[in-house]
Amino acid sequence: MYAAVPGFKWGDKPYKLQVCYNKHCIRVTVRDCLCSRKGGGFIDLSPIAFMALAGKLKKGTIWVTVQLVN
């Protein structure tokens, strides 16, 4: 499962995040830039990662908590 975040640049080393929604958490690898958004506060999850958290793609947007995994 993967994600995109603002500020990730070509050549950056991918890193892992823990993403939680309604007390359910998954780990994703950040490997792409969410270049359409400037600044923080957004994360774009792959469809599989989103469904693992929200259950359905129809929800569109959900509020999550994010933590860097070492």
Place of tokens 């792959």: 46
How many domains, in total, are found in the chain?
1
CA 5 to chain centre: 7
Domain that holds residue 55: 2-69
Distance CA 40, CA 37 (A): 8
Which pLDDT score, from 0 to 100, does residue 31 have?
95
| pTM for this predicted structure | 0.87
The CATH number given to whatever domain includes residue 53 is 2.40.40.10
pLDDT digits over 7-49, tens only?
Answer: 899 899 999 999 999 999 999 999 999 887 676 788 999 999 9
